[in-house]
Structure 1
Amino acid sequence: MLAIQRAIRRIHTRVDSPRLTRFSLDAPKKVDLEYVNGSKFSLSAEFLRIQSPAADGKIRSFGGEKVIFGRRHVGIMSAEPVGNYGVRIIFDDLHKTGIYSWDYFYYLGSNKFSLMRNYIRTLKKHGLSRDPAKRK
């Protein structure tokens, strides 16, 4: 199941996206992107964190389904260019292994509402929350 999800993500992120014309980091809250076809996306830190293209040790697995939760208030500390194809985003929860390509940003922006809706459904299904756990 996990291998199929990875393959689907690879297929979806290799869509021929238009050329990026603007990338703007509005730390700690969001990233704004514009593409040559006029598409404009504003992607929140939480959304980017839960859609990270990297494996993460802070993911809980439920029946083979990997779920990141409790990231509603995560922030972006910085973004570092990676070649000419994307950026590495460093989050304030110290996650920094995901490299977001311009094509992957386009996929996320184009599918933001359905991806977020599915994420919230998954959290509800497993009794999890977007909010961080209360500290004792």
Structure 2
Amino acid sequence: MSTPLKKILIVDDDTRNIFALSLTLRSKGYTCISATDASLAIKLLQQDSSIGVVLLDMMMPEMDGYEAIGRIRDIENLKELPIFAVTAQAMPGDKEKCLAAGANAYVSKPVNVDTLIDLLNKYL
């Protein structure tokens, strides 16, 4: 597999989740950067045009993933940026809620790596 040119931004308030996901994706040849809160993630997105997809935790303090998606979608050059909702919320209706908020895809925790790789290949 050739290394994708676009970076993956992992946004999660739990650094253990960032570490595990980042390690897994890097072992598959992806380049990852991370943010531990949505405000920092939005700043990174505005500064780094090489980010090709966002893996966004939906349950974070201060600004949750739903609000973050709305703010990202309000930025003209980020309207079409692929955002994957990555969440432990796996009750009926949670996937639909994430997609209705503007996420392109929904990935439940614990993350199925094969499913995530398939999505990344589709969007990157």
Question: TM-score scaled to structure 1, two decimals?
Answer: 0.25
Question: TM-score scaled to structure 2, two decimals?
Answer: 0.27
Higher helix share: 2
Higher strand share: 1
